[in-house]
Amino acid sequence: MNNIINPFARPLYVMTKPAGAHCNLACDYCYYLEKQKLYQGGEKHVMSDRLTEIFIREYIQSQFVSEVNFTWHGGEPMIRPLEYYRKVVRWQRQYAEGKSILNCIQTNGTLLTPEWCRFLHDEGWLVGISIDGPRDMHDAYRMKRNGGPTWEKVMQSIDMLDRYNVEWNAMAVVNDITASRPLDFYRFFRDELGCQYLQFTPVVERIQRHEDGRHLAHLLDENCDVAPFSVTPEAWGNFLCTIFDEWYHNDIGEMFVQTFEATLANWCGVTPGVCSLSNWCGHAAVMEHNGDIYCCDHFVFPEYYLGNILNRGILDMLNSEKQQAFAKMKTTGLPNQCKQCQWQFACHGECPRNRFARTKDGETGLNYLCSGYQQFFNHVAPYMEILKEKFGNQQ
């Protein structure tokens, strides 16, 4: 390691894709599926046992903390047979070196079986399950490859997880449809699912045709149209403010809404648990099925390739100049409008992947969702002061 100060006093984190970008669904807004085009052979790719074992050993060895978090992601990780994950658990135990091992699997919830549930329960895995709200909202974009709906199946899977006492969280995206009915969306999770933890992410994609067949843009692409399923800045601001009011008046202490908790953390001067609203990037890389590691799950593009685990160490990659430059982009890439913004401490320019807009002065690098965040922070500021007074010492 060439740094005097160890940058990984915090957990080092590499999200893992054991089935690559392969998925049994075809959601309209998916930014994973087209990653298959980065690799010849497309969706047939899966992570080999040998590579998985190497990764597990090295990932554990690379940690400077006593708790090691594995996240199994996709595509759809449950496409891999359960036997694969039984081997994962055996290797984790073999290489644990006395560290605690935590596992989270993020799934579309359509391949869950009782056998899976028994495994998840017995091994204490956390399940992140994707559901975009009530049936009509969810089925608008989250569909099977033949176009069929998936909501019913996901709801059955959530029931099954409850029956087998498997811990799960809901993960939703905010697109043009969900953003238009914030209270229907929020109350579904609270009243119908009984969720106590809700994580939602704005969908912002732009269209850019690449020679290899990919059609989504990345940060360096210019003059691309925003995809129609994306949430607009105005709708995002309205969505956040409306749900915040409902949460503030009824659900504080009952519902954990990641965006609001992160906002309060920033108000209290504490680093929030979500990277998009914190002042740093770069601690959460992603590994594809063949061991290729990229700067971040949202930056799986050739330009953000760090190396392959078979010929370069994880620590070396995450400590490389390229990754550090990526990490610094969060702050160094801010336009003057952000640097002078009264909400910079709470926003930090949000995720760099969405910084393709221009400021009032024509400067590049402004977050597309900026006006939505301004609306939100303006709205919640007085309440955040009250919450800071009340809960600040618990942050």
Active-site amino acid positions: 297
Structure tokens at 213: 């067949």
Q: Which is nearer to ligand SF4, 70 or 373 (CB)?
A: 373
What is the signed CA dihedral for 73, 79, 82, 86, rounded to 10 degrees? -40
Task: Provide, rounded to whole angstroms, the least separation between the CB of residue 25 and ligand SF4.
Answer: 4
Q: Which is nearer to ligand SF4, 230 or 337 (CB)?
A: 337
Q: Is 15 helix (H, G, I), strand (E, B) or coil?
A: strand
Q: Is 277 helix (H, G, I), strand (E, B) or coil?
A: helix
**CA neighbours within 13 Å on the CB side: how many for 249?**
5
Q: Which residues contact 146 (CB under 8 A, 6 or more apart)?
A: none
Q: Which is nearer to ligand SF4, 92 or 263 (CB)?
A: 263
Q: Which is nearer to ligand SF4, 166 or 327 (CB)?
A: 327
Task: Provide, rounded to whole angstroms, the least separation between the CB of residue 337 and ligand SF4.
Answer: 5
Q: Which amino acid is at 59?
A: Y
Binding site for ligand SF4 (CB under 6 A): 23, 25-27, 30, 32-33, 74-76, 108, 130, 142, 275-276, 281, 284, 296, 298, 330, 337-338, 341, 343-344, 347, 349-353, 367, 370, 373-374
Structure tokens at 247: 């949460």
Q: Which amino acid is at 378?
A: N
Long-range contacts of 273-279, Cβ-Cβ distance < 8 Å, separation of 24 or more:
275/351, 276/350, 276/351, 277/346, 277/347, 277/348, 277/350, 278/348, 279/330, 279/331, 279/348
**Nearest C-alpha neighbor of 294 from the set 278, 276, 281:** 281
Q: Bin 75: left if φ > 0, else alpha if -120 < ψ < 50, else beta.
A: left
Q: Which is nearer to ligand SF4, 52 or 130 (CB)?
A: 130
Task: Provide, rounded to whole angstroms, the least separation between the CB of residue 352 and ligand SF4.
Answer: 5
Helix H or strand E encompassing 245: helix 233-250
Q: Which is nearer to ligand SF4, 190 or 348 (CB)?
A: 348
Q: Which is nearer to ligand SF4, 255 or 366 (CB)?
A: 366
Q: Which residue has the tokens 């913004």?
A: 341
Q: How far is it, in rounded angstroms, from Cα 108 to Cα 79?
A: 11
Q: Which is nearer to ligand SF4, 289 or 298 (CB)?
A: 298
Q: Is 186 helix (H, G, I), strand (E, B) or coil?
A: helix
**Nearest C-alpha neighbor of 197 from the set 253, 250, 276, 237:** 253
**Nearest C-alpha neighbor of 351 from the set 203, 228, 183, 149:** 203
**Nearest C-alpha neighbor of 129 from the set 184, 103, 167:** 167
Peptide bond into 75 cis (omega under 30): yes
